[in-house]
Amino acid sequence: MFTKRFWFLLMALVVGVVMAGCSTPTEAPVVQPTSTSQVAEPSPTPLPPTATPVPPTVTPEPETPTDTPEPPSPTATLEPTMEAEQLLWQPDGIVTDGEYADQVEIAGVTFAWTTDAEFLYGAMWAQTGGWVAVGFDPDNRMQGANYVFGFVKDGEVAIVDMFGTRPAGPDSHPPDDTLGGADDIEAFGGSEKDGVTLIEFKIPRETGDDNDKPLASGAYVLLAAYGSTDDFTMRHTNRGIGEITID
């Protein structure tokens, strides 16, 4: 038989168990997530399955037309025309290749010449320390010819435009300006080297002077001579006659 004390302890145990089952459970503490220095970006909302992404339309800027360079023209071959020869002419007392179109030798005098529409460009030289001369288109021996006389003395060029007034004689070709005309030599130069006197000159083909002969295109008689002194009045050492053609 159980004693009262036993039943009292049993009842106390039952009451304790019932009271423990009816008590409100303690809430578990909420653990906050540990913060970091990086913030996660939200995930982009996905497009619906049927939606196709359309790329933005870009209108290309119109291209600036580029000028296509024309191919270079072939280098023109310079024909040996009078204009080309004139470009080379320099009255410096030196005859260079191509400076003159034609050349002739008469009685020890070499005469080279070229022309353009307005002028005759000439060079005359001989083995002498004196004067050298040419005369264009004489009528009778020395008469009627248009002369160019020149020499070099002390490094200076002396040159005179003369006209034949008589067939022969020391005073048969006076300067034009003593006859009422003009000295029409427009440019000149010269040199004296190694015993050779060389004179270059430029004269109009048509001066309008009665003491000059027009030099149109065609064949002409040419007189040539040289002397041993720097004096136009002294007699020639040698002289001769030939022919040239002027274009």
Locus of tokens 């070099």: 152
pLDDT, tens digit, 9 for 90 and up, residues 55-73: 555 555 555 544 544 543 3
Do the Cβ atoms of 187 and 202 come closer than 8 Å? yes
Spans of all domains in the chain:
105-246
31 has a pLDDT exceeding 50? no
Task: Determine the average pLDDT of the residues in 31-60.
Answer: 46
Q: Say what the pLDDT of residue 172 is.
A: 86
Which fold, 105-246? Answer: Immunoglobulin-like (2.60.40)
The DSSP output letter for 46 is P
Q: What is the pTM of this model?
A: 0.65
Question: Going edge to edge, which strands form the sheet with 119-126?
Answer: 102-106, 109-115, 119-126, 196-204, 187-193
114 and 101 Cβ atoms separated by less than 8 Å: yes
Backbone angles phi, psi at 169, to 5 degrees: 115, 155
